[in-house]
A = this chain, B = another copy of it.
Amino acid sequence: MHLMQKYEVSVPVVRRLPRYYRLLQELERNGVTRTSSRELGKRLGMTASQIRQDLSCFGCFGRQGCGYAVKELRENLEQIIGLPDLLPMILVGAGSLGKVVSENVRFEERGFRLIGIFDIKPELIGKRLAELQIQPIEELESFCAAKKPVAAVLCLPKESAQAVAERLVLFGVRGLWNFSHCDIAVEQAEVITVHLDDSLMTLSYKLHNL
């Protein structure tokens, strides 16, 4: 792991980082070399001053009248998010949800390397998913001891998510990306639960209000 500066910023600012990063990637792809807090704000539905405030948390300051150099800012955010330092990750639950996640998520562009997939169902063991062979859940402990995954994706039925999460933390996993439809409470680990349908409510709001 690189020696990196650590930042202390609020949760909402952290949540906005991926959106800044994606927007900068898009601008760069479209050949844009400079941008401003006003332009970024317009694209993200925020004020210029919010943008400046957010980015300054990470020491990214635009120059008055010149704005931000797109490539430089994108590279800075890349370092800040930790993307160049791929963390080893496993996936537990190779059913239809696990299949979609493992095949659709670009782990290596998002800071992780998928190194193992586990399931409980005998008929899935040995099959290949995302270029990995599905392993039996019984091997989770020895695998973690040997390969030391830092994070895990949970694509489990909600009945088993909490128990598996607790075992993973015992085995040294420090970050959980949870697709199971339930909240998970574990100490000593970061848990991010994906609510697939949150943005569907936003669409409902917009169709009723705009």
List of B residues within 8 angstroms of A101 by Cβ: 196
What string of 1s and 0s marks CB contacts (under 8 Å) between A43-55 and chain B? 0111000000000
Please determine whether A201 and B111 come into contact, CB atoms closer than 8 angstroms.
Answer: yes
Give the contacting residue for A46; candidates B12, B111, B174; CB below 8 A.
B12
Docked Cα-Cα span, A181 to B85, in Å, equals 24
Size of chain A's interface in residues, with CB distance under 8 A?
64
| Residues of chain B within 8 A of A111, CB atoms compared | 200-201, 203-204
Copies of this chain, complex-wide, total 2
Which of chain B's residues have a CB closer than 8 A to the CB of A21? 201
Q: Which residues of A contact B (CB under 8 A)?
A: 1, 4, 6-7, 10-12, 14-15, 17-19, 21-22, 26, 44-46, 80-83, 85, 87, 96-97, 99-101, 103-107, 109-112, 150-151, 174-175, 177, 181, 183, 190, 192, 194-210
CB pairs A–B below 8 angstroms (19 shown)? A11-B45, A12-B45, A14-B206, A18-B199, A19-B198, A22-B195, A22-B198, A81-B205, A82-B205, A82-B208, A82-B209, A99-B100, A110-B200, A110-B204, A111-B200, A177-B203, A190-B203, A190-B210, A192-B202
Known: A22-B195, A190-B203. 17 other contacts (CB 8 A): A4-B208, A6-B209, A11-B44, A12-B45, A12-B46, A15-B202, A18-B201, A18-B202, A80-B205, A82-B205, A82-B208, A104-B181, A112-B200, A112-B204, A175-B207, A190-B210, A192-B206
